Structure 1
Amino acid sequence: MIGEPQQLDLAPWIKRFPGEPGTATIVFPHAGGAAAAYRNFARALTAHGVDTFIMQYPQRGERLAEPPAESVTDLARDMLDAVDWAGLGPVRLFGHCMGALVGFEFARLAEQRGVGVRELWASASQAPATVAGSSPVPTTDSGLLADIVDLGGTDASLLDDEDFLELLLPAVRSDYQAFNRYTCGREVRVAADIHAVGGRSDHRVEPDLLRAWECHTDGAFTLTMFDGGHFYVDDHLDEVAELVSCT
């Protein structure tokens, strides 16, 4: 049975799915992703007793009118400033794709402030130190559309909807620009354990890029692979939720 969740003054752009006290897990969406895309995952986590918080980045949902963040670190700082996370005990972080980089920067900043972070689940994401040496992601409309199609995970019929694209493309562009500006040295580490997770058929984030996360932790490191592509989580909601909740 889920106990009474701690009462928090949350901004409307933070979506909470209450679970057991002491299990706070913060979910950071992928580039261009809205909080709504992670509702099913949050429900799966809650079924395992996890107190789940999904973050919403600027340029979408309730934050549509807000200016984009200049950097991945700015996004992380925004998320850290939003709640008294220290009052929830050591937290878990789960970030998908660019969200894992946001989670890493969140962990780094949190440690500087004395906020406990137990572990970071880096899902379908290249390690921070590999970003600067990789090719920049596109930011033109045509390039963004091609990249979205290549990654999968978006209903193809929606990509023919001009109103949907009018909302989607600015959000993706702002996140991609933040990603392109990101740099991090191999020497930058966090105390939290890092667990890399990916899809065996993900042609964008291969196992070597996931393994590179190991250099960024002073704690434990694990690598877990599931069948599927870049958005493998959608096909393994309960299995991933169980994995995250059992540590």
Structure 2
Amino acid sequence: MSVSPADDGLWCRRFDPAPDAAHRLVCFPHAGGSASYYLPVATALSPRVDVVAVQYPGRQDRRNEPLIDDIGTLADQVHEVLRGWDDRPLTFFGHSMGALVAFEVARRFEREDSGPVRLFASGRRAPSRYRDENVHRRDDDGIIAEIKSMSGTDDRLLGDEELIRMILPALRGDYRAVETYRCDPGATVGCPVTALVGDSDPKTSIDEAGDWKKHTTADFDLRVLPGGHFYLNSRAAEVLKVLDEHFTARAALRDS
């Protein structure tokens, strides 16, 4: 399915536009997440970096649109949209489910001899590392228990029945997409990859994160930070520092 440029505003959110920036960071949300999760990143990096956060269908202002519960299909559509945003070097950052989407979008770009200059894969096992998980088959209480255990959702929201009903379809669809995803063990991207992981993440071990090195033909870097699956909520400064190091290096390369 092709996405027209007129639909870009549905998919791509710029909370603090930086039209004169030399770099563009594309951020991919986690399961059940939305583009607004990356608003603080856009604020912190602007005007040096133009931050674009992807808004998947089925949540917030797109909640009445059909969900996409397949990583490949979602990557196809995001790739089509991002073709219109590659007027400057792209860097991808994806957390959890977003890391898989970012990886698959990068692969699609590279088939056209394009793609990001680096992929940051956060809080997610390497694409070839599988666990037998079935959260998407649980009842509503089971899904709520799962997201509470990840400490990535405000408990006040989880106590609001109306809001829970609004987010549960997206959560279930996203978990289905992640848990049914299968990747060829030999699948790679040609850009460097930085994997980030919390040292006590129950969903991704340090070893599983380290296997992202098998999915790039370029340089690989592993960053381990204190915390669980949503380590980046409390370690935002450290994550922003990692990103800043990347963009500083890119600027130096450009000016050399």
TM-score, normalization by structure 1: 0.90
Q: Deviations over 1:121-159 (max 9, x none)?
A: 00010111013x433334331221111011111111211
Alpha-carbon distance between aligned partners in 2 of 1:33 and 1:220, rounded to the nearest angstrom: 29
Distance verdict in 2 for CA 1:93–1:54, change over 3 Å:
same
Letter in 2 for 1:42: A
Letter in 1 for 2:215: H
* Other-structure match for 1:36: 36
Residue pair 2:34, 2:60 contacting (<8 A) in 1 also: yes
Q: Deviations over 1:43-77 (max 9, x none)?
A: 22326x22100001111022211111141111112
Matched, 1:15 2:17: no
User: CA shift at 1:25, angstroms?
Assistant: 0.8
Letter in 1 for 2:199: R
Letter in 2 for 1:240: V
User: CA shift at 1:86, angstroms?
Assistant: 6.1
* Other-structure match for 1:242: 241
Alpha-carbon distance between aligned partners in 1 of 2:106 and 2:152, rounded to the nearest angstrom: 27
Letter in 2 for 1:190: V
* Other-structure match for 1:166: 165
* Other-structure match for 2:94: 95
Letter in 2 for 1:32: G
Distance verdict in 2 for CA 1:43–1:134, change over 3 Å:
farther
* Other-structure match for 2:135: 137
Residue pair 2:23, 2:49 contacting (<8 A) in 1 also: yes
Structure 2 counterparts to residues 158-237 of structure 1, below 5 A: 158-237=157-236
The DSSP-based 3-state class of the residue aligned with 1:195 is: strand
Identity of aligned residues (%): 35
Alpha-carbon distance between aligned partners in 1 of 2:234 and 2:222, rounded to the nearest angstrom: 18
Alpha-carbon distance between aligned partners in 2 of 1:55 and 1:15, rounded to the nearest angstrom: 6
- Structure 1 stretches lacking a partner, 5+ long: 1-7
The DSSP-based 3-state class of the residue aligned with 1:246 is: helix
Give the stretch that moved more between structures: 154-163 or 209-218. Answer: 154-163
Letter in 2 for 1:39: L
* Other-structure match for 2:77: 78
Residue pair 2:197, 2:206 contacting (<8 A) in 1 also: yes
Letter in 2 for 1:93: F
Distance verdict in 2 for CA 1:45–1:198, change over 3 Å:
farther
User: CA shift at 1:228, angstroms?
Assistant: 1.6
Alpha-carbon distance between aligned partners in 1 of 2:33 and 2:200, rounded to the nearest angstrom: 21
Matched, 1:26 2:22: no
Alpha-carbon distance between aligned partners in 2 of 1:85 and 1:242, rounded to the nearest angstrom: 28
* Other-structure match for 2:46: 46
After superposition, the CA RMSD in angstroms is 1.8
Residue pair 2:11, 2:81 contacting (<8 A) in 1 also: no
User: CA shift at 1:29, angstroms?
Assistant: 0.3
Letter in 2 for 1:124: G
User: CA shift at 1:85, angstroms?
Assistant: 4.4
TM-score, normalization by structure 2: 0.87
The DSSP-based 3-state class of the residue aligned with 1:128 is: coil
Distance verdict in 2 for CA 1:211–1:134, change over 3 Å:
farther
Distance verdict in 2 for CA 1:207–1:23, change over 3 Å:
same
Alpha-carbon distance between aligned partners in 2 of 1:245 and 1:78, rounded to the nearest angstrom: 29
